[in-house]
């Protein structure tokens, strides 16, 4: 009895301290968020008490506040969706491979953040296709009716001498920058309490200021912020009024909980109200992804985005910060919202995304771009798509124009790699039992026509709902790895590095030394220094693994 009597006051004391801590912390963030609403353009003309009452009525309950997005300095709540690597598939039984293109680059800059911080990245943070597509490749500009060109190249596989590697590249057409339609941009800014670190809201402001500096006078910008409740900080304003836009950004302060769903709804409503017919209408969401008030489940957010993408308003997601970063959620929302997804780990990456590659990232030239490969089983025993695990499509989806896929921006390049086991190889493959009711018969022409595969692509023009088809047979033939193009060698070096970081079973005996040799041989023209930086990352990783 005496022990229980002593424990009760102690438990009450601990509970009181915890409640006081939560109240004090959320009280500070609430006050910051209240200041934002009071400063909001949406509340002009209201009295100060009325603005405060409006803010209080929109605040979460005490139970919601207890579940707010502060985990403390010693906790890491970053989240990454599990990736199950693509396996080899027998070409005779499974000749078709179908996937959506991916122009996201978030994984590479996030991996860079870990390595430059002297840590190896989590396995599931490594999406190999995003690492490959972080870099530009020297592909020919498109000619003719289609807005992109398609190239293929075949050579030896660097990590498995008995296999071969097929490189597929797409090059988006550059726009006539003198005749661009205006932009209608809505910056959706997470200004909740979790965004107060220097590499979050302060970096976010610096990043968007770079973008504002690149816009034309005819473009328009609105700002929506969310912290506890969403508010219109700046109504749609001509981009020529840069001082007003920047002043609105500078007023933002981190505070409150994260009502990301409400922010998305208000941002899309603002974009619809200012829609530019035939123009570039886009919501740019900047956040650490930690939504915890209102609509906050990933499934509900994805469904919300699927509805909004029907309005021809595109989405760009820019991730910031560390510690509570929700990578998987942002990738899924981006895919659902006709979007692209970047991770901004510093001001140099902000310059790359918002200045150097602004038009490629903001101006869509083809939507719902799908690739389907038919492998010739007379020449290919088995194949494996390197990466793109989160972009795989059912084979039937290729001809289904209702099925969403990736968007291609002006001047963008897209690269995909297939590792193939040649026909006649003794390498084993996990196949299926023979079919009972039908037989797989290879056409006699398959051995005669010299084709190793046929590449098919479907895409829709930005404001069309009917897809166009491109069909391109590929003749078998390859050169030695040393004589392959810089595009081939560099992309395979990046893929090999990704497999090492993921500890992939397919990497065989590939070493970082071999990756370095391959990357150095393919550095080529490197005006922005991105390839040199990659080589430096591999060197740093080699030190971390010692």
pLDDT at 36: 42
What is the spatial distance between Cα 384 and Cα 139, in angstroms, rounded to a whole number? 23
Span between the terminal Cα atoms of the chain, in Å: 57
Q: Beta partners for 285?
A: 188, 317
Q: If pLDDT is split at 50, 70 and 90, which confidence band does 298 have? A: low
Q: If pLDDT is split at 50, 70 and 90, which confidence band does 35 have? A: very low
pLDDT at 56: 38
Buried b (16+ CB within 10 A) or exposed e, 431-463: eeeeeeeeeeeeeeeeeeeebbbebbbbbbebe
What is the spatial distance between Cα 427 and Cα 375, in angstroms, rounded to a whole number? 18
pLDDT at 6: 44
Q: Is the pLDDT of residue 13 over 50?
A: no
The DSSP 8-state label assigned to residue 86 in this structure reads: P
Q: What is the pLDDT of residues 229-262, one digit of tens each?
A: 568 999 999 999 999 999 999 998 877 665 567 7
Q: What is the pLDDT of residues 181-220, one digit of tens each?
A: 899 999 999 888 888 888 889 999 999 999 999 999 899 9
The DSSP annotation for 476-529 comes to: ---B-GGGS-HHHHHHHHHHHHHHHHHT-GGGTT--HHHHHHHHHHT----TT-
Q: Beta strand pairing status for 364-375 and 314-319?
A: unpaired
The DSSP 8-state label assigned to residue 448 in this structure reads: T
Detail the DSSP E strand segments found in 269-338.
280-287, 314-319
Give the predicted TM-score (pTM) of the model.
0.84
- 542, HSE (Cβ side, Cα atoms, 13 Å): 13
Residue found under tokens 């959506």: 100
Q: Is the pLDDT of residue 57 over 80?
A: no
Are the CB atoms for 189 and 15 separated by under 8 Å? no
pLDDT at 1: 44
What is the spatial distance between Cα 401 and Cα 504, in angstroms, rounded to a whole number? 34
pLDDT at 257: 62
Measuring CA to CA, which residue among 273, 284, 295, 296 is closest to residue 249? 284
At residue 148, φ and ψ (nearest 5 deg) are -150, 155
What is the spatial distance between Cα 82 and Cα 77, in angstroms, rounded to a whole number? 15
Least confident of 32-36, 296-300, 371-375, 387-391: 32-36
Q: What is the pLDDT of residues 325-380, one digit of tens each?
A: 888 878 888 877 778 899 999 999 999 999 998 888 888 999 999 999 999 999 99
Residue found under tokens 């304003």: 237
What interhelical angle do 106-116 and 530-544 show, nearest 10?
50
Q: Is the pLDDT of residue 75 over 60?
A: no
Show the domains of the chain with their CATH numbers: 89-102+139-175+365-423+449-512 (2.60.40.1230), 178-362 (3.40.50.410)
Are the CB atoms for 207 and 286 separated by under 8 Å? yes
Please report, to the nearest 10 degrees, the dihedral formed by the alpha carbons of residues 220, 225, 230, 231 taken in order. Answer: -60
What is the spatial distance between Cα 439 and Cα 453, in angstroms, rounded to a whole number? 21
Residue found under tokens 């005496």: 2
Give the mean pLDDT of 526-544: 96
At residue 234, φ and ψ (nearest 5 deg) are -145, 120
Q: If pLDDT is split at 50, 70 and 90, which confidence band does 62 have? A: very low
Are the CB atoms for 260 and 208 separated by under 8 Å? no
Are the CB atoms for 258 and 291 separated by under 8 Å? yes
What is the spatial distance between Cα 106 and Cα 413, in angstroms, rounded to a whole number? 16
């Amino acid at each position: 009895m005496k022990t229980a009597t002593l424990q009760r006051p102690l438990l009450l004391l601990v509970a009181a301290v915890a409640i006081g801590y939560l109240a004090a912390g959320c009280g500070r963030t609430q006050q910051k968020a209240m200041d934002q609403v009071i400063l909001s353009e949406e509340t002009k003309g209201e009295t100060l008490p009325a603005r405060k009452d409006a803010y209080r009525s929109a605040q979460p309950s005490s139970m919601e506040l207890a579940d707010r997005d502060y985990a403390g300095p010693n906790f890491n709540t970053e989240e990454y969706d599990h990736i199950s690597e693509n396996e080899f598939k027998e070409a005779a039984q499974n000749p078709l491979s179908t996937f959506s293109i991916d122009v996201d680059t978030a994984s590479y800059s996030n991996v860079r953040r870990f390595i430059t911080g002297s840590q190896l990245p989590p396995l599931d943070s490594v999406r190999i296709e995003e690492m490959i597509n972080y870099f530009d490749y020297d592909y020919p500009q498109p000619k003719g009716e289609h807005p992109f060109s398609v190239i293929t190249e075949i050579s030896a596989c660097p990590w498995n001498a008995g296999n071969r590697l097929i490189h597929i590249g797409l090059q988006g057409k550059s726009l006539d920058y003198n005749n661009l339609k205006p932009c209608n941009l809505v910056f959706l800014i997470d200004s909740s309490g979790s965004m107060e670190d220097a590499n979050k809201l302060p970096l976010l402001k610096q990043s968007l200021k770079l973008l504002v500096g690149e816009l034309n006078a005819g473009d328009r910008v609105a700002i929506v912020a969310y912290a506890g409740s969403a508010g219109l900080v700046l109504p749609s304003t001509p981009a020529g009024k840069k001082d007003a836009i920047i002043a609105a950004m500078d007023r933002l302060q981190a505070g409150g909980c994260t009502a990301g769903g409400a922010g998305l709804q208000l941002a899309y409503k603002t974009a619809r109200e200012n829609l530019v017919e035939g123009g570039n209408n886009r919501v740019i969401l900047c956040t650490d992804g930690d939504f915890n008030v209102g609509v906050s489940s990933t499934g509900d957010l994805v469904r919300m985005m699927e509805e909004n993408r029907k309005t021809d308003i595109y989405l760009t997601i820019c991730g910031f910060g560390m510690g509570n970063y929700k990578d998987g959620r942002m990738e899924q929302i981006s895919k659902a919202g006709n979007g692209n997804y970047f991770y901004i780990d510093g001001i140099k990456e902000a310059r790359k995304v918002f200045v150097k590659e602004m038009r490629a990232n903001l101006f869509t030239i083809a939507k719902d771009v799908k690739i389907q490969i038919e492998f010739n089983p007379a020449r290919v025993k088995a194949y494996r798509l390197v990466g793109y695990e989160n972009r795989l499509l059912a084979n039937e989806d290729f001809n289904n124009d209702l099925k969403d896929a990736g968007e291609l921006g002006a001047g963008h390049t897209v690269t995909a790699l297939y590792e193939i086991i040649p026909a006649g190889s003794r390498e084993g493959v996990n196949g299926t039992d023979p079919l009972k009711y039908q037989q797989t018969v290879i056409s006699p022409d398959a051995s005669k026509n010299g084709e190793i595969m046929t590449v098919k692509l479907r895409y829709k023009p930005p404001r069309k709902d009917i897809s166009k088809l491109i069909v391109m047979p590929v003749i078998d033939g390859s050169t030695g790895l040393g004589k392959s193009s810089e595009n081939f060698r560099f992309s395979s070096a990046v893929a090999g590095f990704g497999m090492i970081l993921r500890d992939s079973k397919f990497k065989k005996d590939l070493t970082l030394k071999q990756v370095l040799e391959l990357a150095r041989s393919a550095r080529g023209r490197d005006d922005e220094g991105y390839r040199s930086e990659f080589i430096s990352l591999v060197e740093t990783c080699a030190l971390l693994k010692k």
